[in-house]
Every structure is written in C-alpha cells, then in structure tokens.
Amino acid sequence: MTVKIIACEVMKEELLSISTYCNIEYEFMPMKLHLNPEKLNRELQNRIDSSKTYSRIVLAFGLCGGALRSLKAASCTLTIPRVHDCISIFLDGSSKDENIFKKELGIFYLSGGWIISEKSILSEHKRIKEKYGERKAYRVLSRMYESYKKIMFIKTGCIKENEYIKSSKQIAKLLNLDHEITEGSSSFIEKIVNGPYENNKFININQSDVVKEEYFNANT
C-alpha cells in the first residue's frame, strides 16, 4: 500500500531529498493558505476525503494557527507531527525550539522554502514597490514586522542554501533586523517520510476520529 504525504510547499525540497523504501505519493499545498487557517482547514479536509486508496495519510504540518483543528480522518489512519508549526519540524521537534520561543521573543524564522515562496517577504516587497514605490514599500513592511528584532535562518542542507542565506540577509537588512543562522535537522523530516510514527512525535488518528487541539501538546 502507498503512503500519501500532504505537505506545505515550504518543506518540499527537504521532503523530496529523503531517500525512502516505501511507496510514497506527495501533494504540496501553497504557503499562502496559512494566511487563512479556516481555508487551509477546508482544503486539507477536501484532500483527506478525496484520498481513498492509501494505507496512511501524513500531514506535514503543525497545528498552524489552529488550521488542523477538527480535521477528520477518512478511509485510513491520519498522521500529523505533534508540533505547533514547521519551525519545530526543521529543528527536529525537540524542546530546544520551545525554549527559544520562551526565552527570546521577536525572532522571525526563515528556511529555503520560505525564501522562495510567492508570499515571501522579498516577493511582497517587490509587489508593493512596483505598485507604490520604494518609500511606501519600506513603510508598509516596517509596520508589518515592527515586533521582530531578529531574522533566524534555519539551515536544512538545501542544494541552493547559500543563495537562500544571502536572501535572508537581504531581508534582515531591508527590515533593519539582526541576522543569525542556526543548524536545523532532517531527523523529524525523515520520520515524516519513513516513520516510525511513534506517539511521542506524531498524532495518529483512526478512521472517523477527529483531531483535537490538545493532541499537539507533547504530554497528550
């Protein structure tokens, strides 16, 4: 039987780089859906309901602002990383990312997938600049990201990572923010592709059961 992985496009390069001995099919969803969690929820439910010939469906998402709340498993087991967003996946889903959130607020995380997304900061800057000019673009972005003080680029070993890091530095300069680089890990991504889907790392929902927000807590 085949496993289907439905993932956000920001993880596409990392997921496809993992060697697998399983029969895997991938479906990638645009990052822009994160701007509307209710719409993302509907789209994911539609994809789940229409995927009827698989032994397991893995959603390579976190809770993502509540977007995965109340999703219902359909014809097979539904598996979801037990994390709140993909930052945790890139950082191996360990407690270190939670400690960073608690100790130091104002960090804007980036990876290669975020850099090349159509909704990236650089793409947004280009669209506003072309329509309203450089000064307006700068004012708009400054207001949008005024609560941040640092860009943190997560290295995941992408082929074009040096280009992505260069772009992340450009974003930091554009927003007048500090820039740092942290090492990510492929460990959690490998588990998403190949398993094992252990309960301490993943939520496993049986047919017709519903995803509850409390399932994303590590001790649930």
Q: Over the stretch 75-119, which tens digit does the pLDDT of each residue have?
A: 899 999 999 888 889 987 654 445 555 456 789 999 988 888 766
Q: Are 170 and 62 members of one domain?
A: no
Judged on CB neighbours under 10 Å (0-12, 13-18, 19+), 98 is middle
**Averaged pLDDT for residues 54-73:** 92
Q: What is the per-residue pLDDT across 191-209, written as a single tens digit (0 to 9) for each?
A: 999 999 999 999 999 987 8
Helix (H) / strand (E) element for 151: namely strand 150-155
3-class secondary structure, 188: helix
Q: Are 63 and 80 members of one domain?
A: yes
Specify the pTM: 0.86
Determine the pLDDT at residue 118.
Answer: 63
Its domain, for residue 8, covers 3-88+186-216
Q: What are the residues facing 125 on neighbouring strands?
A: none
* Domains of the chain: total: 2
Q: Are 115 and 159 members of one domain?
A: yes
What Å distances lie between residue 213 and 24, 33, 62, 205, 216, CA to CA? 27, 19, 10, 13, 6
Q: Are 7 and 64 members of one domain?
A: yes
Q: Are 57 and 119 members of one domain?
A: no
Q: Are 56 and 113 members of one domain?
A: no
Q: Which long-range contacts (CB under 8 A, 24 or more apart) does 139-147 make?
A: 141/174, 141/175, 142/175, 142/176, 145/108, 145/121, 145/175, 145/177, 147/106
Q: Are 47 and 155 members of one domain?
A: no
Q: Are 57 and 105 members of one domain?
A: no
Q: 220 falls in which pLDDT band (50, 70, 90)?
A: low
Q: Are 133 and 108 members of one domain?
A: yes
Judged on CB neighbours under 10 Å (0-12, 13-18, 19+), 114 is buried
